[in-house]
């Protein structure tokens, strides 16, 4: 039986088909129409039906979303693709496909992927972070995703930044609060915070490119971002002490993170030394979709 996984991202929706050994049999991408729930649903259904028709084999189906399903209602909550909130995504997919689907937070899928056969393989516990359009987290212990009674385990992006200074912006978040770590650490957070610091408005990608080219102001902007990330991850280490931390999402490709953050976080970690490795996801922006595939298989095999 094949494992189909879908990653519903802020800009693209991806499907993958894996065999039992994790070999890729198919991969497709489509733009995410993030302002329209019916269009998002149709994108998912089209990707699945086309893949099922092409491969013509039985499959399990897992889906990673930038939010979670409420245990109380079964509807989507906490999604930064806000048109999903309050929708019966699981029910709509299952009624249309006449096939079960397992849905989890996209950061949980990243964590499961990297803990299964990625950068975190072999570690007893893995905390995985998406630094992309938003800023999510997922936690895997002994190969199992930890969810919690509220389906929000790992949602560190909606905690306030610890050890704040006057240099840190206090931006509104889609969740209704201000000062969430997501508004400072995500790709859009880099842009907002850089504008707050410098008065200049340009994309996170432009700041990174300028820093890599040696621009001192851009390098300072990135250093400040890395320092905030170090504080945020230090709080995770103090609370959970994971055996490894894995980063995914677009901003995880900033190579200086893996040198600067471990140099800094010891100031805030409650220990005489910090042995926690900070790792780049092995599968990059495909970690989430692979994790969704593993999620589907593990859930159906219970």
DSSP 63-97: EEESSEE-TTTSSEES-SSGGGTT--HHHHHHHHH
Superfamily of domain 2-109+285-300: ATPase, nucleotide binding domain (3.30.420.40)
Question: What is the rounded CA–CA span in Å between residue 25 and residue 16?
Answer: 8
With a cut of 90, say whether residue 222 has pLDDT above it: yes
Helix or strand or coil: residue 15?
strand
Residue found by looking up tokens 């880099």 in the block: 190
What does the block give as tokens for 200?
A: 């200049």
User: Can you say whether the dihedral through the CA atoms of 38, 35, 76, 59 is positive or negative?
Assistant: positive
Considering only the top CATH level, what class is 120-281?
alpha beta
Give the model confidence (pLDDT) of 71-123 as tens digits: 999 999 999 899 999 999 999 999 999 999 999 998 999 999 999 889 999 99
Decide: 103 and 60 in contact? Cβ < 8 Å: no
Same fold, 2-109+285-300 and 120-281: yes
Q: What are the structural domain ranges in the chain?
A: 2-109+285-300, 120-281
Share of the chain above pLDDT 70, in %: 98
Give the model confidence (pLDDT) of 42-71 as tens digits: 999 999 999 999 999 999 999 999 899 999
Close Cβ partners of 85 (under 8 Å, ≥ 6 residues apart): 67, 75, 76, 77, 78, 79
Going by pLDDT thresholds of 50, 70 and 90, the confidence category of residue 301 is low
Decide: 40 and 32 in contact? Cβ < 8 Å: yes
Q: What pTM, to 2 d.p., does this model score?
A: 0.88
Question: What is the rounded CA–CA span in Å between residue 126 and residue 108?
Answer: 10
With a cut of 60, say whether residue 293 has pLDDT above it: yes
């Amino acid at each position: 039986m094949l494992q189909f996984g879908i990653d519903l991202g802020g800009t693209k929706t991806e499907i993958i088909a894996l065999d039992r050994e994790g070999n890729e049999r198919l991969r497709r991408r489509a733009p995410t129409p993030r302002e329209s729930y019916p269009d998002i649903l149709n994108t998912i259904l089209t990707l699945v039906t086309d893949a099922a028709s092409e491969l013509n084999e039985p499959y399990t189906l897992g889906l990673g979303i930038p939010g979670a399903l409420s245990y109380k209602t079964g509807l989507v909550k906490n999604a930064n693709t806000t048109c999903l909130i309050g929708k019966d995504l699981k029910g709509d997919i299952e009624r249309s496909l006449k096939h079960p689907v397992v849905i989890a937070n996209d950061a949980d899928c990243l964590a499961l992927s990297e803990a299964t056969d990625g950068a975190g393989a072999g570690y007893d516990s893995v905390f995985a972070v998406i630094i992309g359009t938003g800023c999510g987290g997922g936690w895997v212990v002994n190969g199992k995703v930890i969810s919690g009674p509220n389906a929000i385990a790992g949602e560190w992006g909606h905690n306030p930044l610890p050890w704040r200074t006057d240099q840190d912006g206090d931006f509104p978040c889609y969740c209704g609060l201000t000062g969430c770590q997501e508004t400072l650490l995500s790709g859009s957070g880099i842009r907002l915070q850089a504008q707050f610091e410098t008065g200049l408005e340009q994309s996170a990608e432009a700041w990174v490119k300028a820093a890599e080219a040696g621009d001192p102001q851009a390098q300072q902007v990135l250093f400040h971002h890395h320092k905030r990330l170090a504080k945020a991850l230090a709080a995770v280490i103090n609370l959970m002490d994971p055996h490894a931390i894995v980063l995914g999402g677009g901003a995880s490709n900033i190579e200086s993170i893996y040198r600067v953050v471990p140099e800094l976080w010891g100031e805030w970690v409650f220990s005489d030394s910090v042995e926690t490795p900070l790792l780049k996801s092995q599968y990059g922006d495909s970690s989430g979709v692979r994790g969704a595939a593993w999620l589907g298989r593990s859930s159906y095999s219970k």
